[in-house]
Structures are given as structure tokens and as C-alpha cells.
Structure 1
Amino acid sequence: MTNGSLTFWIVIAAASAAFGALYGILFHEGPAVLGVTYGTCIGVLAIAYERGALFPRYTTCLRRLPSLAYFAAAEISLLLVIVVGMSATGLAVRALGLTAKSLAELVTPRPQAVLYAMAVSALLIGVLRVRDLIGSRTFTNLILGRYHRPRSEERIFLFLDLVGSTTYAEKHGDFAAQELLKDVFETIAEPIRRHRGQIDDYIGDQVIISWPLMQGVERARCIDCVFAIRKTLRDDRDRWTRRFGLVPELRAALHGGSVVTAEIGVDRHKIAYFGDVMNATARLEGLCRETKRSVLVSEAVLSRIPVLPDGIEAEALGQYALRGRSGEMVVHALAERRRLAVVGEVVGRPLPGRGADAFHRLS
């Protein structure tokens, strides 16, 4: 459930309507329909402002202020949004004939109503910020208690690592490197959401993304996500070069299998994955340096994808013994096709007699 999704706004509207109805009950403000109407309109407006959907340039400028100045300006702005929202909702209620109250009563916010709206908005915003901090799906799973007891799952993991981040930090400093990482992570979030990936963790300059196995292999979604991310970064080449003097490049490794998923922590809870798959994916990402390839995928994942996305081809690299593992892993490199497909060639798969024999031998 992302900020721009219809589901997100339906949930926000429903929660706001419930708090609006509760206000009518607590303060004896008449028919429940009025409380629901006011609550829905004011709640949606307040969250739209806080999420940057309302006055996006203004909220972006606010976030650049020092912490204390930002907090004061944001609270005053939220108060104004609520007051104006109350007045606008009063006009709408009057026009619809939902109450016999005078126009002056409807457009003049009452102090207790403003304080209640501020308190509810603060509660909703606080919950949403916790959700942002740990991830929407993790937040939902924690609320539902889905992983109170460890459970076995089949998942696909994508490890992304920013190339040259250490060198950039040595040259430009840690603060500049942090700005680069922040910008990269914000940029790649959209294609990850679009391909229904779940960002599980950030570790230094690395991002860990996962899918339930069937969801990840459906329409080769996990592979399509990798190249959508690379295209998103490449298409904004001028901005990256102008701001940071480089175009970010990412190494990527895809692997999957059975993991144990569980809720861990006492003071800080999180959903964690346990099993060889996590270690193997990390080692596979490290293999990108050795093989000098940007995108690697294990046979365990590739064998479950019948057809690669159009324009993507796989090359069998052979078996590799990854550090920390007793067995070997069959590894393939993925790349964008740079030539026209030969007649009879299946998209993303080599013709028999070229690379396919090696592929079948290794699999």
C-alpha cells in the first residue's frame, strides 16, 4: 500500500471518517453524518499536505530547513490547512443541505474542533512515519502479528550495491556520499514499488529487496525490476552528472529459495530472514566484481522464469564455489540485448548450439 495508491487513500479516508464520527459522539455535535464528512475531508487534506501531495514544492522547501525551524513551520502550516479545510467543508455541507446550522457556524472553526483535528492528525502522521521507517509491508505484518511465530517461506532476494561509493566518499566526504546514497535510494524506490518489490533493509550502500517467490517470477518481475532501476538512473543522466559528477551504477544479484521469516527484537522490532539463501545472495553480489558483470542471477531463480523480459539475454557463466558455502552455484549473467534477435531465437534464451547446450549441462 503505497502513498499514491487508491488503497492508501481509502484507508486514510476511512480512518479519518471514524475519528470524525468519534468527535460527534464525544462532543455531542449532532448527526454522525456531519462528523464523518468533516473528519474525512480534514483528515485527507492533512495527510495530503504531510505526504507532499498538496503543495509539493512548499513541503519540499520546508524539509530543507533546520530541524526546529522545520517543526515549527510544519505545525503552523498544518494548522492552517486544518482551519481552511474546516471552513471549506462547512461551505460544502451548507451547499448540500446536510444541516440547518447557520453559514457562520459552519465556516468558523471551533477551538475544541481544531485541537481535536490537530491531535488526530498528529496521531495519523506519527503512525505513517513509523510505517515509512520500517516499510509498509513490514508495518502491516507487525500489526497483524503474521510473524510472531517463525514460518518458512519461498522468497526471491535482490541485492543492489552502489558501485564506487567508497571512492566517492574518500574524494568528496561522507556527507556528500550520504546525499548521493539518499538520492539513489529515493530514485529507485518507484520502480521497485512498480514491480511489487519489498525493500527489506538498507545496509551501507546496499539495498535488499524481496518478493514472495511466485510473485517475483511472475512475468519475470524480479528481473524486469533490475533493468527498470538501471533505466531510471540512466535516463536522468544529466541531473546526476550535474549534481554529483557521475551517473550511479548498481551491481545486482538475484537468488531465491526457502527462508525462515520471523519477528525479532525487543526495543526495536523488525521482520528478519534466516537461511543460506541470504548468505548466498550476498556472496553472489560479491561475485559481480570477480566476473566483471553488473547483473548476476542464480540458476535457482532463472530456471523458474520461462521467458525473460523482451530485450534481456542470459549468459551461462558456469559453476562457482561461493565463499562460506560447501556446494557450488550455477551462475548466469543478465544484460540488455545489443543486437537484433536471430530468427528462431527465443527472447532472452540462446539458440541451441550456441549457449543453450552449456546452459542445459549446467542446469
Structure 2
Amino acid sequence: MAAPGGARPGEPGPRRAAAPFRARFWLVAPTIGALAGLLYGAVLGVEPTVSVIRGVFIGAPLMLYERGLLLPRWRTLTRRAATPVFAVATLATYVAMIVLGNAVAGTILHRGFGFMPDARTAMTMSEAGFAYALGISALATFVFRVRDLMGPRVFTSLLVGRYHRPITEERIFLFLDVAGSTRFAEEHGDLAAQSWLGAIFAALALPVRRARGSIDDYVGDMALVSWSMERGTRDAACLACVFDVIRTIEAEPDYWITRFGAVPRLRAALHCGPVVTAEIGLERRKIAYFGDALNTTSRLEGLAKELDVAVIVSGDLLERLGPLPDDLRVADLGERALRGRKEPLRIAAIHRRPAETQPSSKRTIP
């Protein structure tokens, strides 16, 4: 068994780092760059076409880089470094991209639009332009970093004050637990276990984003993911997300075995219901949930461990879902009494259907 090593702070393997988080950002980044260029042109009296083209070719690459869509391996490598090294490497990358982007924009302006009489002048950047490009890029990068740290949904909700006053809403909750984490920590130590969990949780990011969910919290070896009812039930996205995460991890067993000595095994519990959602805290604000739905999901996670079931779902949620994906099947586990609930809850296990069998979608527990 290989000794566990430090986790890559991105996706679990080298191929995952190149996957785009959101295809639409390839359109958003040039748009933001163009708007930043227009602002610069308006302030300093630069021809709008010139400022827009420079803004697109300077601003867009920087934002795409920060989203991991350009030079993902280099970005991952710099993020693993100590803070001083990271700062110097990131600044050097920014400067190189600004210079290169300005040169490309200047060439286009000179040859395509005829704005500049000679190529040298077209590719020369003023000190004010360079400082503006670096400042705007640093500001955008800061916003994206804060957004990633807090999570897109939490960041947006806090920004617009959606939960400043508590509201009642229906949500779907997923408790995703790493099986065997205690044993792993006993064998390899707490530091290695934390690196292992960090790599596993990093692998959740892309599947949850694809399923339009929100990673709301990490508690020990468990991740809490949630959806609005509309998003989570559309195409059974909440269930599809669980198996997407499992496929993501199982797709690269060599990486996990080489780095940590074992391929992680996950356990999932899903439930839905009304909760009170509120913004809490003063110096450190967060979005918190209160209600029976969250407590029941926690009880289901414990029951999944007791029954040794990989994916368990409540009958309440299964009845709200449409036809399941073709590769999933439902196994009825009957009604179970859960601590803290007066009425028993009907539950089911969800399994991946063998490839050779014919698909047969089910809406509810038989």
C-alpha cells in the first residue's frame, strides 16, 4: 500500500483540472473585459473600439485563468505553494498575460482596423493602461476568490440580503459521508487523513456545480449539499449528482491508490422538506437551516451506515422526483423508525443498474 501523500487542491487527478467549470464563462469573461475596457476609455478619453478590443484580450484571459480554464496545471501548482511564492507567481502570470493580450489586441487594431500607424505603437501599453488592467484584474480575482470561499449561492444570497429576514422554503438535502475515514486516520495519522478528505471534497465541486447544487458546509468527514426543490428534482439532479461524484472518484483509481493507498468509498443520504433559512452571525455571517428535514437527513445518514447502504433516500423525496436516470434502480427498504420522529419514514436504497440490463424508470417506492 502506498503511503498517503498531500492532496492536490483541485480535482482529484490531472485530467480533472482541465475540465471547465462553466462553459458560459467563456462568454462572460470577454463581456466583462469589454465593459472594463469601455470604462477605461470613458475615463481617459480613448476611442471606444480601441478600449473594448484591448479590454477583451487583456481582461478575458485573466478571468479565465482564475476560473481554471486557462493554464490549469500552472494555476494548481501555484496555489499549492506558500503564500509569498503564490503571490509572486500569480503577479508574474498576470503581467505576462497583460503584455501578451495587449500585443494581440494591438496587432488586431493595427492590421484589422487601421487605428495605429505602425505595429510598435499599437503594441505599446501606457503606464496608466497597465496599472488599470492590473487593478481591475486584481479586483475581479478578489471577488471570485471570496465567491469560491463562501460558495456561489451563499455569496449571492448574502450580497442581495435574501435571507436577512428568515424565510421558510422547501429544500433537498444530501449528507455525503466518507466511509472508513476514522480507520484511515488511525492508520495514517490526522494530517494524512485531512489531506485525503481535502482531495475527496475537492472532487465534489464539479459534479455539484453540474447538478446546480450548493455545498453548504463540511462537518468532519461529511459534506452537506442542498438544492432548491425545483433544481434538485429536475431530471433527478440530486440523485444524479451522487453517482456523478462516485464516478468521478472511481474513474481514477491509480491516482487515489498512488497518493493515499486506497480508493475512497462514499455513503449518501437524501431527504427533502420545509426548513427555515436565515442569515446568522455578525463578524462571520453564514446561511443556516433550521427544521426537521435537516435532522431527518442526518438520521438517514446514520441508518445508511447501520444498514451498509451506499445511497439511501427517503420516500418523501422519491415521490417528488420524476423518472430516475436509466442507470439507476430503486430497492424498497420499507418503513423505519427514526430517532426524533413520531412517524416511521419509508426509505429506499438506490443502486446503479448493471449495463446489460434494460432501463426501467420508477417514480415511487413499490
| TM-score (norm: length of structure 2) | 0.87
Give the counterpart of 2:169 among 153, 162, 165: 153
The one-letter code of the counterpart of 2:296 is A
**Bigger Rg, which one:** 1
CA spacing shift, 1:347–1:25, aligned 2, 3 Å: closer
Number of residue pairs aligned between Structure 1 and Structure 2: 348
3-state SS of 1:330 partner: strand
- Show the counterpart of 1:273: 289
Structure 1 residue 235 corresponds to structure 2 residue 251: yes
Give the SS at the match of 2:177: strand
Identity rate, percent: 43
Residue 20 of structure 1 corresponds to: 37
Query: Structure 1 residues 98, 130: closer, same or farther in 2, change over 3 A?
Result: farther
From the superposition, tell whether residues 306 and 122 of structure 1 become closer, same or farther in structure 2 (CA, over 3 Å). closer
Paired position in structure 1 for 2:3: none
Matched, 1:332 2:348: yes
1:114-193 to structure 2, matched below 5 A, reads: 114-193=130-209
Residues 184-211 of structure 1, C-alpha deviations (whole Å, 9 max, x = no match): 1222222222222222222221111112
- Indicate conservation of the 8 Å contact 2:21/2:209, yes or no: no
Matched, 1:292 2:292: no
2:103 aligned with 1:81: no
Aligned mates of 1:56, 1:228 — CA distance in 2: 22
Matches within 5 A, 1:96-115: 96-97=112-113, 99-115=115-131
Structure with more contact order per residue of length (Cα contacts < 8 Å, sep ≥ 6): 2
Task: Say which SS state the counterpart of residue 65 (structure 2) adopts.
Answer: helix
SS of corresponding position for 1:99: coil
Contact 1:311 1:348 in 2 (8 A): no
2:259 equivalent to 1:259:
no
Does the C-alpha gap of structure 1 residues 11 and 144 become closer, same or farther in structure 2, counting only changes over 3 Å? farther
Residues in 1 aligned to 2:355 and 2:241: alpha-carbon distance in whole angstroms: 22
CA distance in 2, matches of 1:289, 1:221: 23
Give the drift of 1:341.
5.5
Between 200-209 and 94-103, report the one with greater CA deviation. 94-103
Task: Indicate whether 1:56 and 2:60 are aligned.
Answer: no
1:213 pairs with 225, 229, 249, which one?
Answer: 229
Deviation track 1:156-183 (CA, whole Å, cap 9, x = no partner) reads 1111000111221222122211221121
Gaps (5+ residues) in structure 1?
A: 350-355
Partner of residue 41 from structure 1, selected from 57, 71, 82: 57
Taking the aligned partners of 1:4 and 1:190, their CA distance within structure 2 comes to 6
1:352 matched residue in structure 2? none
- Following the alignment from structure 1 to structure 2, what is the Cα–Cα distance between the partners of residues 312 and 34? 54
Runs in 1 of length 4+ with deviation above 4 angstroms?
338-342
SS, match of residue 303 in structure 1: helix
- Deviation sequence 1:272-328 (CA, Å, 0-9, x none): 222111111011101112112111111100112343322322222222222233332
Mapped to 2, the partners of 1:154 and 1:258 lie a distance apart of 4
Task: Give the partner amino acid of 2:171.
Answer: R
Compare 80-89 and 15-24 and name the one that shifted more: 15-24
Separation in structure 1 between the aligned mates of residue 61 and residue 353 of structure 2, nearest angstrom: 47
Structure 1 residue 98: deviation in Å?
5.4
**Retained in 2: the 8 A contact 1:295–1:333?**
yes
Structure 2 CA distance, aligned partners of 1:271 and 1:35?
40
The answer on whether the counterparts of 1:312 and 1:348 sit within 8 Å (CA) in structure 2 is no
Give, in whole Å, the separation in 2 of the partners of 1:5 and 1:141. Answer: 20
- Gap regions ≥5 residues in structure 2: 1-18
The aligned counterpart of 2:4 is: none
